[in-house]
Amino acid sequence: MSVFRDPVQAAIRALEAELGGGPRADLPPGVDRLASLLLQREERLRAIEKAQPERELLSAMPDAAGLIAADGRVRASNAALDGMAPGGRSVGLTLLEITRQAELADAAQRALEGSPKRLEIHLGARTWIANVTPLLRGEVLVLLRDVTESRMAESTRRDFVANASHELRTPVSAIAGAAETLLSGAMDDPAQARSFVEMIARNAERLARLTNDLLDLSRIESRQWPVKLEPVSVGGTAQRAVEVCSEPARRKRIELRVEVPEGTAVLADARALEQVLVNLLDNAVKYTPDGGRATVTASPVTGDRIEVVVADTGPGIERHHLPRLFERFYRVDPGRARGAGGTGLGLAIVKHLVQMQAGDIGVDTGSGGTSFRVRLPRAEAPAAPAAP
């Protein structure tokens, strides 16, 4: 330190003497360099102090935001924009260096020339809305909003409305056509009239099922279906579900079994668990050939969970259908499902109800049939069957 301090002290004394009227000070090269660095630091500190209010304003914005200086580089930014930049720092970089998006960089350049721009850009798998606005002092404000989730939600809503409209149109058209035929004179023929009245009754029933499923799904997804988690008897709940499905099973001579060890209990919502088992058994009855079998079993699995399985002896499901099996209105065999009275919403309802109960659901399938496996938390103590 002494080697450095002496020349500095000598330079200070020489400058004081010069400013006091003495001869021009002859400063060592190292001192000139130090003066230059001090000047640069001072300018940088002034710039930081100047940008501090802007940074505070940008940091309050939920979107990625930054100020672009006249040279096209970011002068101030918030954490969201920094998170998009290589190395986690966007100040000093251009928008092209930050996003690799030429269209956005071009919009920023045009904004520097006075033309605002709003555009949609894609960065990887995500979608962003960019607003590039010129400011009075010759800089540009850039705002980037991630709209990936909202766009996906919009797409889902559009698909849902289109599918629901299609599903509702079919029974409504059938009912209207049958009624019109009856009014046109078919009522005078008792045999023909009965056929059309039965058609109206079938489609009215289908319309009621579809409406109820739509209402259930809407309540579940909007969290208006109250869930009360408590110890629930798996065997008792399965037996009630079997009773609900017994009549359609009897018509197809399908045997329904409950093979659940006594005392097996899960932490679940009793009504939701019953709805899950009813929907899965209803599916099993629909797709199992006459004379087949559907069985409800339960057993402990790794950890503190119970696996409840609804297995049938049907033809199984082709593997390429499995990724979409729990989508709304998705049907493995649309014609057959509609003929059996299916709405295409049963498995979507099952998936949501299982997730609401902190569980998960999977499916195994093959030529010997299909098994839906629902895993739920094991209850701390066995529970007596709840009253229906």
pLDDT over 50 (residue 91): yes
Q: In this structure, is residue 386 part of a structural domain?
A: no
Q: Which CATH number do you get for residue 240?
A: 3.30.565.10
Q: In this structure, is residue 388 part of a structural domain?
A: no
Tokens of 342: 């299916």
Give residue 46's pLDDT.
65
71-98 burial code (b ≥16 CB/10 A, e <16): eebbbbbbebbbebbeeeebbebbbbeb
Burial of 382: CB neighbours in 10 Å, binned 0-12, 13-18, 19+: middle
> Who wins on pLDDT, 151 or 94?
94
Which residue range(s) make up the domain with 74?
65-146
- Cα-Cα-Cα-Cα torsion 338, 342, 347, 350, nearest 10 degrees, comes to 170
Q: In the chain, count of helices (H) and strands (E)?
A: 11, 12
Give residue 382's pLDDT.
47
Indicate the pLDDT class of residue 5, thresholds 50, 70 and 90: low
Looking at the structure, tell me whether residues 259 and 364 fall in a common domain.
Answer: yes
Q: In this structure, is residue 69 part of a structural domain?
A: yes
Looking at the structure, tell me whether residues 305 and 334 fall in a common domain.
Answer: yes
| 202 vs 205: CA distance, rounded Å | 5
Give residue 150's pLDDT.
86
Q: Which CATH number do you get for residue 108?
A: 3.30.450.20
Q: Which CATH number do you get for residue 179?
A: 1.10.287.130
Q: Where are the beta strands (DSSP E) in 160-264?
A: 230-233, 255-259
Q: In this structure, is residue 188 part of a structural domain?
A: yes
Nearest in space to 237 (alpha carbons), one of 273, 204, 210: 273
Tokens of 38: 């001090």
Looking at the structure, tell me whether residues 246 and 331 fall in a common domain.
Answer: yes
φ, ψ dihedrals at 23, nearest 5°? -70, 160
- Measure the CA angle with vertex 300, ends 298 and 305; round to 5°: 105
Looking at the structure, tell me whether residues 15 and 123 fall in a common domain.
Answer: no
Tokens of 134: 């010129």
Q: Name the most confidently modeled range: 8-17, 91-100, 149-158, 198-207.
A: 91-100
Looking at the structure, tell me whether residues 6 and 90 fall in a common domain.
Answer: no
* Per-residue pLDDT tens over the stretch 313-366: 988 888 888 888 888 777 776 544 444 555 678 888 899 999 999 999 999 988
* Mean pLDDT, all residues of the chain: 83
Q: In this structure, is residue 22 part of a structural domain?
A: yes
Indicate the pLDDT class of residue 383, thresholds 50, 70 and 90: very low
Task: Provide CB contacts within 8 A for 48, sequence distance 6+.
Answer: none
Task: Provide CB contacts within 8 A for 33, sequence distance 6+.
Answer: none
Task: Provide CB contacts within 8 A for 330, sequence distance 6+.
Answer: 321, 324, 344, 347
> Who wins on pLDDT, 56 or 74?
74
Q: What is the pTM of this model?
A: 0.56
| Total domains in the fold of the chain | 4
